[in-house]
Chain A
Amino acid sequence: MTTASSMSIFLNAALINNFVLAMFLGICPFLGVSAKLDTALRMGGAVSFVMLVSSICAYGINKALIIIGAPYLQLIAYIVVIASSVQLVEMIIKKFSPALFRALGIFLPLITTNCAILGVALFQTAKQYDFVQSLSYAAGAGVGFTIALVLMAGMRERLELSSVSSVVQGAAVTLILAGILSMAFMGFAGMAS
């Protein structure tokens, strides 16, 4: 059992070990939905919500699996929980904001296969966090994901206006930008104690 405070876990997940830029989790939506600032922000919100829900569920499942002595079912149980909570979020968004539902398109069901969410569930189990620590870890991961997505979207909106050589256009320039952003985030490493 670790004794790290909730605040340090939160900062660690959000900035120092940013889920997207330092641990490479959730790269697909990071490259796919980061073309517009507005969509990026809402995608971040949806992912953060699913992270929190699945983190709470994963905590309960892990306790239950230890009691019945079947840790090999962990992965299968987590993925089912995540798939159902994505379904839940999808229904909520469809009901309350049809415009956002259309804007997110295929990336909404694809949250299921977003490795950041399964990553939160797996890492919090591996690090043996208690309930409050798990919650702050999930919240930090969600905030970190949103920050990375929004920063990237801002940069890509600027990029639209500049003239880029046709050889570099598309995925290549996006990845190099992500590399520079990731280098900037390495500056936070000094904050770790």
Chain B
Amino acid sequence: MATPAASIQTKIKSESAENFIKGLWRENPVFVALLGMCPVLAVTNSAINALAIGAASTFVMVLSSTIVSLAQKLIPKQVRIASYILIIATFVTVTEYVLQALSYEVHKALGAFIALIVVNCMILGRAEAFASRNNLRQSVMDAFGMGVGFTIACLSLGTVREILGNGTLFGFQVFGPEFEPWIVMILPPGAFFVLGMWLLLFNWVKHRKEAAE
């Protein structure tokens, strides 16, 4: 038989797991909430770029959620949005300089979209809706889950676009030499089409589930 302390322990654990998992699928920021669309569409013309923007956004989101959650009592209600944006902008500046030092090519490929993480509504949304009213542990789990969910969404666009538009995946050849790449997929319209098709697929699955019930 579990002692009360142990059962509370498991409850806290399952709660953090729940907060982590919901971002992956049920409340996926991109596919369900349609937040943070600009980078998802703009820099996912190859899988490696998609991974980089996902990782950078996750990093910024986890760190800013940490600070927002720790400082929730210190920030006055009237200026909270401005304070959150300043916290996020600070971490984005850090990320930009770190990425420039780590990999100059990736930094160049992502261009201004690293700086534009500041205005990713997903990050501000999580700070306002979750981190500002939950404890540190839950906020970090939530931010991390949302970040991973965002990365999955970016990758699901990036891989499809790279395979169809360039015939490669992470730079490796997927098809034989006679494959004719669909150039449109790595151009801007391709991003809209691929995301539209993913949403269509999810809608279809949902409809079938509802019809089955």
Contact = CB atoms under 8 A, between A and B. Distances in A.
B86 to A, nearest CB: 6
Contacts of B191: 24, 179
Contact of A114 (B90, B119, B204): B119
17 contacts: A24-B37, A25-B38, A27-B38, A28-B38, A76-B86, A79-B118, A112-B81, A113-B120, A167-B207, A171-B199, A172-B197, A175-B192, A176-B200, A178-B192, A182-B188, A182-B189, A183-B189
B119 A115 contact: yes
The 7 A-B residue pairs with the shortest CB-CB distance, nearest first, are A179-B192, A175-B196, A24-B42, A176-B196, A172-B199, A27-B37, A183-B189
A7 interface: no
Interface string B31-62: 00011011101100000000000000000000
Interface in A109-147: 109-110, 112-115, 118-119, 122-123, 126
Given A119-B116, A182-B188, A76 B200 contact: no
A113 B124 contact: yes
Interface of B: 34-35, 37-39, 41-42, 81-82, 85-86, 89-90, 92-93, 96-97, 112, 115-116, 118-121, 124, 184, 187-193, 195-197, 199-200, 203-204, 207
B89 A75 contact: yes
A186 B200 contact: no
B86 A80 contact: yes
The main secondary structure of chain B at its interface with chain A is helix
A132 B129 CA distance: 41
Contacts, number: 118
Contacts of A26: 38
Chain A, interface size: which category?
35 or more
B188 A21 contact: yes
Most buried by A among B37, B39, B90, B120: B37
Contacts of A151: none
The main secondary structure of chain A at its interface with chain B is helix
Given A79-B85, A178-B192, A118 B115 contact: yes
Nearest to A125: B112
A122 B115 contact: yes
Contacts of A123: 112
A61 B46 CA distance: 35
A171 B34 contact: yes
A118 B119 CA distance: 8
B195 A113 contact: no
A103 interface: no
Most buried by B among A26, A109, A170, A178: A178
B85 A83 contact: yes
B195 A115 contact: no
Given A26-B38, A178-B196, A186-B187, 20 more contacts: A22-B188, A24-B38, A24-B39, A75-B96, A83-B82, A112-B85, A113-B119, A115-B38, A123-B112, A171-B34, A172-B197, A172-B199, A175-B193, A176-B192, A176-B200, A179-B189, A179-B190, A179-B192, A179-B196, A186-B188
